[in-house]
């Protein structure tokens, strides 16, 4: 019994021992797993803690700020102030426009991108773009800048990877080509390169921007009047068609202030589409070119004779005999066949008569008077430097005679108009400006006496209303127009062009109190049925002036006065 019991107990103890032995290995593995998890967790915490500590250290350490990503070019665009006319009407402004660029590293199929873009952007340089996209190390390539929203949408619809848009400022001109030469142009970076736009960069100020941020600067107010400018351009455009000219130019000037109310030159230029290259065909004929203006120059010669006391309007000169100057003979286009007074020399436009007055004055007084008018030196306006006058190399007898009636001396029309306006303003030498002023004249240097101004005003008016005057077709009922015609041979390479002239008409109104001056020039007009086959200024430039004044006088507030011509 004892032995059986002992065996049974032993077996039970063995079972217990075996069970305990079986349970111990399982508990050991669980413990090791918990330890491993704890170690991993602590390691992760330590790693993130290290990263956080490093980021905190970097954040607290002063370092240079990177304004742009390395993949983008540094912005060179400029934010510009608006340009408005004298009455506040908008002429130029900045708008946000989408510009297209590519990331070569993101472009999947270079040929596909180029070919599909060419269908939307026909001016795209495909070979150049292929070459630029070939370099995968480049992360930014300009493709097209300043796109219209419609074109940008068409590019977007292509769905090409690697292309994107960036907003930039682009200059917009709501009036289109109106006053294009005056306004000038900007380059691809919105920086002014000519005209008023360049003046803004040089004198007003622009702001460098890295995005399409509009300017907060005050608008630049010009002296131009959009209504007057439109009338001038419209009449010149019509004149080109009517008289089959190769070009035309004109301006409207405030005699009292020197403000240019309108200035136009044909062919016109589009400020929104600058060519980028100088083109002599579209140079501004008003400021950037010089011409021998012909008989309109007699205005200055007559004024010089009157102001210097050489003659009076009633002084008589025998103009029947042509003047000799070396191998040259100077005669009148239409000889009166009798002696003429100074007033008649002006209205008959006598070359011989003005030549005699210049010879009587002599070179020193003639040059001194022209210099006093500001006609022999350089001149500059807000649109840039005016083309320098081309003067005679010597002031001998021949040069003195020809200069008296506008040959042998070439000046810019704006400079000539300013000099002529100085004869009537009662203040002094006029300095033209394209900015609206406070109404004061710019230069108080007295040019002629008040009596000379009155005498010249009467001569201007007589030339329009007298039967023998050359400006009869420039008259406008009620507005008391006065003026002088000019028909000059057009200079070319090596001499004068055969049968080519510049016809012009210099006018002022109202002549009882001169306030506004117009100057119309037609280049190489042809004779028509309307002009009786003539190319002279009295048949083309004069009637163009009449139509122009009819349109602009009411806009300028000139009240028509109906009086008899004899008064």
Give the separation between CA 52 and CA 43, rounded to whole angstroms: 14
Q: How far apart are CA 220 and CA 92, in angstroms?
A: 10
Place of tokens 């108080």: 444
Q: Give the C-alpha separation, 259 to 430, whole Å.
A: 10
Angle at 267 between CA 485 and CA 496, to 5 degrees: 55
CB atoms inside a 10 Å sphere around CB 563: 11
Asked whether the beta carbons of 287 and 386 are under 8 A apart, the reply is: yes
Phi, psi of 193 (to 5 degrees): -120, -15
What's the rounded Cα separation, in Å, for the pair 265 and 268? 6
> Does 295 participate in catalysis according to the annotation?
yes
Contact indicator for 508, 516 with CB cutoff of 8 Å: yes
- List C-alpha distances in Å: 466 to 458, 483, 539: 11, 12, 16
SS3 letters across 510-558? CCCCCCEEEEEEEECCCCCCCCCCCCCCCCCHHHHHHHHHHHHHHHCCC
Residue tagged active-site, from 194, 215, 287, 295: 295
Could you give the maximum distance between any two Cα atoms of the chain, in Å? 181
Q: Phi/psi zone of residue 123: left (φ > 0), alpha (ψ -120 to 50 degrees), beta?
A: alpha
Question: Strand pairing of 482-492 and 163-172?
Answer: unpaired
DSSP secondary structure string, 423-452?
TTSSSS----BSB--SS--S-----S-HHH
- Structure-token pair, residue 183: 């306004």
Tokens of 510: 């109202």
Q: Is 41 exposed, middle or buried (0-12, 13-18, 19+ CB in 10 A)?
A: exposed
Residues sharing a CB contact under 8 Å with residue 499, sequence separation 6 or more, in sequence order: none
- Residue closest to 268 by CA, chosen among 281, 259, 255, 252: 281
Gyration radius of the chain's alpha carbons: 41
Peptide bond into 510 cis (omega under 30): yes
Q: With left for phi above 0 and alpha for psi between -120 and 50, is residue 205 left, alpha or beta?
A: left
Q: Give me the active site residues, please.
A: 295
């Amino acid at each position: 019994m004892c032995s059986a019991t002992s065996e049974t107990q032993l077996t039970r103890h063995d079972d217990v021992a075996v069970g305990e032995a079986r349970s111990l290995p399982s508990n050991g593995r669980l413990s090791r797993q918990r330890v491993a998890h704890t170690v991993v967790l602590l390691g992760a915490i330590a790693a993130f803690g290290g990263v956080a500590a490093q980021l905190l250290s970097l954040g607290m350490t002063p370092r240079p700020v990177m304004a742009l990503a390395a993949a983008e070019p540094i912005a060179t665009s400029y934010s510009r102030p608006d340009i408005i006319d004298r009455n506040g009407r908008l002429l130029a402004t900045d708008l946000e426009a989408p510009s297209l660029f590519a990331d070569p590293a993101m472009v999947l199929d270079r040929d596909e991108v180029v070919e599909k873009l060419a269908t939307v952007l026909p001016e795209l340089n495909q070979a150049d773009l292929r070459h630029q996209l070939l370099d995968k190390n480049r992360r930014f390539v300009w493709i097209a800048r300043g796109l219209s929203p419609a074109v940008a949408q068409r590019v977007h619809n292509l769905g090409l990877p690697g292309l994107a848009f960036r907003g930039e400022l682009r200059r917009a001109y709501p009036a289109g080509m109106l006053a294009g030469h005056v306004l000038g142009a900007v380059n691809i970076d919105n920086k002014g390169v000519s005209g008023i736009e360049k003046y803004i960069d040089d004198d007003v100020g622009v702001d460098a921007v890295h995005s399409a941020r509009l300017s907060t600067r005050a608008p630049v107010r010009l002296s131009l009047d959009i209504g007057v400018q439109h009338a001038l351009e419209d009449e010149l455009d019509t004149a080109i068609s009517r008289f089959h000219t190769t070009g035309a130019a004109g301006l409207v000037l405030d005699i009292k202030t020197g403000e240019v109310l309108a200035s136009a030159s044909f062919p016109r230029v589009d400020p929104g589409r600058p060519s980028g290259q100088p083109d002599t065909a579209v140079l501004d004929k008003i400021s950037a070119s010089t011409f021998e203006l012909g008989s309109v120059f007699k205005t200055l010669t007559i004024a010089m004779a009157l102001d210097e006391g050489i003659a009076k309007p009633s002084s008589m000169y025998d103009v029947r005999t042509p003047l000799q100057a070396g191998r040259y003979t100077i005669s009148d286009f239409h000889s009166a066949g009798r002696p003429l007074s100074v007033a008649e020399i002006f209205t008959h436009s006598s070359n011989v008569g003005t030549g005699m007055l210049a010879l009587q004055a002599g070179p020193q007084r003639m040059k001194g008077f022209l210099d006093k008018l500001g006609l022999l030196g350089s001149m500059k306006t807000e649109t840039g430097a005016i083309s320098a006058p081309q003067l005679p190399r010597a002031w001998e007898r021949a040069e003195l005679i020809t200069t008296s009636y506008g040959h042998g001396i070439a000046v810019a029309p704006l400079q000539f108009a300013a000099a002529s306006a100085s004869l009537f303003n009662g203040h002094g030498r006029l300095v033209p400006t394209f900015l609206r002023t406070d109404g004061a004249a710019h230069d108080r240097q007295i040019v002629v006496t008040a009596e000379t101004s009155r005498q010249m005003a009467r001569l201007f008016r007589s030339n329009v209303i007298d039967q023998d005057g050359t400006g009869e077709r420039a008259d406008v009922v009620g507005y008391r127009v006065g003026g002088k015609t000019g028909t000059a041979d057009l200079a070319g390479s090596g001499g004068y062009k055969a049968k080519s002239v510049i016809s012009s008409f210099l006018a002022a109104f109202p002549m009882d109190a001169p306030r506004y001056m117009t100057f119309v020039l037609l280049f190489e007009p042809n004779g028509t049925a309307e002009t009786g086959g003539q190319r002279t200024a009295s048949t083309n430039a004069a009637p163009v002036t009449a139509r122009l004044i009819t349109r602009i006088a009411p806009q300028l507030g000139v009240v028509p006065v109906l009086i008899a011509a004899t008064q």
